[in-house]
Amino acid sequence: MKLSPLQITMEKLRSGPALVSLKGLLNNQTVSELERALFKFNPESVIVNFSGVEDITGAAWQRIFNLADHYRVAGAGLPKHQYDNYHLLEGEKKLPVYKTPEEAIQYLQSQENLLSRYTMP
């Protein structure tokens, strides 16, 4: 079975975060494309929709988790078994993953509400 190259679609949602939809193979090389696209787009928060991803390599996982060092990130559409398997390798670092992008949006909005509540005006 031949895997498709990665296709990246980005859109700025009215509610604030950028929705990044991925389709195809997610590996070290294609994550670099994703990082470049995010750097140009420069969102504060990102929802990564994995529902179109055919396969994800371990090195790509590491770099996806590292996106959380630069952005508020939530994932959507990821099969739970893949997420759980990665946790065994990664340990403490966590990426909140939801079934749908809408649930991820609600999570990011709740995080932004917490930030605004606890920061000085």
Residue 101 has pLDDT above 60, yes or no: yes
Q: Could you give the CA distance from residue 88 to residue 70 in angstroms, rounded to a whole number?
A: 23
Residue 70 has pLDDT above 70, yes or no: yes
Provide the CATH number for the domain around residue 75: 3.30.750.24
* pLDDT value at residue 14: 75
* pLDDT value at residue 89: 45
Asked whether residue 33 is assigned to any structural domain, the reply reads yes
Asked whether residue 1 is assigned to any structural domain, the reply reads no
Residue 96 has pLDDT above 70, yes or no: yes
Q: Could you give the CA distance from residue 11 to residue 17 in angstroms, rounded to a whole number?
A: 9
The more confident residue out of 11 and 78 is 11
**Domain range for 87:** 7-118
